[in-house]
Structure 1
Amino acid sequence: MSTTGTPAPAAPPPLVPDSARPAVSRARYGLLTSLFIITAINYLDRTNLSVALPHIKDDLHLTATQQGILLSSFGWAYLLLQIPTGRLIDKVGAKLAFGYALVGWSLATAAVVLSRGFGSLVGIRVALGAFEAPAFPSNNRLVVNWFPGNERGRATATYTSGEYIGLAVAAPVLSLLTVHFGWRSVFLVTGAVGLLFSVVWFRRVYDRPEQSPKVSVEELAHIQQPDEQESAAAVEKASEAELSTMGADLRVLFTNKRLWGMYIGQFASASVLFFFLTWFPSYLVEEKGMGIIKAGFWASAPYLAALVGTLVGGAWSDRMLDNGRSRTVARKLPVMIGFVLASIIVCANFTDSAPLVITFMSIAFFAQGLMQNSWALFADSVPRRLTGTGGGVFNFMANAGGVLTPLVIGFIVDATGSFAWALGYIGIVVAVGLVAYALLIDRVERIEA
């Protein structure tokens, strides 16, 4: 341990001799496939509750406020542990932090079958949130390590799309499981999926490309090329830098105006996301009168729309960079258009037509997919040596929205008897996100620290 009060530098990663590397490789896409799958599992385990909730509500006789507390409880520990786990990732690497987290949250998911009441369910969801805390800071760290700057938008969009494709495919399946085998079966099945994939994760994932024997010399040079905003010396310095004190690093992350614009925008984006991840199936069942199986199948459309939005946003952003547009325009524009489009969610208040409701919801969730380009924007802005800690702060701000949104909606539904003002709340929040991006993020460039 360092005697100066700063962490001791990590041991250098083991290097693979050039002679042992293949002539040509695209191993970074294998890493990206693993990120896609683990993100899909991550979101499946945090949102399976929303699919089963209409049955849980009836079984346990829960009020809307209690449902809001239950849906929010995942975020309590998840939120508080973002910065500590980001720091942990900077010290031990994303592979170990994410891998052990996967085992932990899969066991917590399966443990729901042992619950017998509201209190035990809340406790298990808090544990689930604690184990899932390293997820997105780890994703951010691995994308920065494995992809050059002009590919990070597409890489971020690809792994982020795992949030939606898993739900789009699984929502009907989980609805059928709930109806035919009981709501506890949903958690047993999804927990088992995570445990099975943990074997693949530990065997095939590496923190850095130079550690992997599957990465060719040519691909390694491509990955490590500096982009126009970073010199090669700066990249090398960042990769070797020792972490400073926690207080000094947090001052960097909390005193920058541009980062605050990103934090506020991420809070707004997460508020939209968590409406769909928590209350959306109940909204279809209770507000629009759909049966749970029908709601499960209808819910797939917005999830698929969000998947398309995520992929479009990332590819469009990188294409703008390739075509010579400024990094500021390329990274900000998809997110800001997403804020504008997401406000259409309020229109669902004015119709009971199922196809029209799903159309409005699909546009809003497509828009939230565009907003996911914010991770690429942040990756291009945060100091390189703080990608883990910075990712923790960024995800902390996002999941403040994830904690607040289910609670606010539960209170609104109990107070008013409908979801109308809940959708109005979402509309207000996305307007605040748009203003923050417009006024606080003047340009996108690497912050030096």
Structure 2
Amino acid sequence: MEVKKIMQDLEQKHPGEAEYLQAVKEVLISIKDVYNQHPEFEKAKIIERIVEPERILTFRVPWVDDKGEVHVNIGYRVQFNSAIGPYKGGLRFHPSVNLSILKFLGFEQTFKNSLTTLPMGGGKGGSDFSIRGKSDNEVMRFCQAFMTELFKVIGPETDIPAGDIGVGAREIGYLFGMYKKLTHQWNGVITGKGLEWGGSRIRPEATGFGALYFVNQMLQTHNIDIKGKTIAVSGFGNVAWGAVTKATQLGAKVITISGPDGYIYDPDGICGEKIDYMLELRATGNDVCAPYAEMFSGAKFIPNKRPWEVKCDIALPCATQNELNGNDADILLANHPICVAEVSNMGCTAEAVEKFVKAKQLFAPGKAVNAGGVATSGLEMTQNAIRLSWSSDEVDEKLHQIMHSIHEQCVKYGKLNDGYIDYVKGANIAGFMKVANAMMAQGIV
């Protein structure tokens, strides 16, 4: 496999799709040596097939606001790979949504789902619709219009969407209600549902919980105790909330959260009522974090900056893709953190990842670290299929086991001769091999 040649071909086919091309290049570099040990993969053109989505649906979404004005947004569903199970991946409603971002997310989701050990393929979808400033009725009408097209290509044995940025419990409810009306069926076609109608316990916090289980496993592998360690977190949505909550339970101290306006530094630690306030603030639709500093004495708001300049033991990007760049990596490395782990999807730029790996920094990629969210969605699918509901402790135990298994796979494929564990390489190879072998077994389809 020649990575340069493959990337040149992809760039010609998909010009300008920076996020997607970045995600593909990272995986190809990691798996190159293993791939070249399998000539049968080359003969079957596994790489050429695995980097292209199996199917992409694009559609218009017309909806009417409360003033009677008509708006038109674009809807997408990228069904990336179904070799090991039905397509599985979230829906994102945000103005930044475009095909490049959804292809990158669907590509990453394919390997992330593979790592969970659950039978799920990879997919992603969404729209450039923004929920900010919209009334409940406007969001409902948009979700109903969106599902009017989406329902044609999803199903519990075909494609099971979930929530993502801009798609929470309210949106999932509206989407599911419209699917049920259109199909006359009640089934587990969407995950992230309410507990009263098929949802799984601890789903909202599962991504953050799973991330801390993985990070704790990383530290234990190196004989390091997480208790007493300081943690810098970005973001303050559900993912950050879960991470902050579990970190606190494990005895660590979270000292930062962030929003688009800047970040909060709280040397006393973000816990208890502070975590509750963080979530309440986000629930109002307000994604700025400055009010936190006005609410709690001792906390400081630093405008228009990222939290990576704060000295910490552990850094956890929890907001969005490419939020930690090469300059941020230099600042972090100068402060000698113990560990950096992507909780957001591709939270670090390629330059940042390269610097961490080159410096032999303990670092783990999002497809491994944040797999707890989709893993719990997979557990919700199982509960729906057998018409049972597990307790929080049962779901949490299964989540813990899955994250432990993911960590073992990363170590198996990522441990180098000098003892350093390249978690990026390990996660990519482990996820790829399972999907590639399934594709080989199913022929040229």
The TM-score normalised by the length of structure 2 is: 0.23
The TM-score normalised by the length of structure 1 is: 0.23
Q: 1 or 2, which has the higher strand percentage?
A: 2
Q: 1 or 2, which has the higher helix percentage?
A: 1
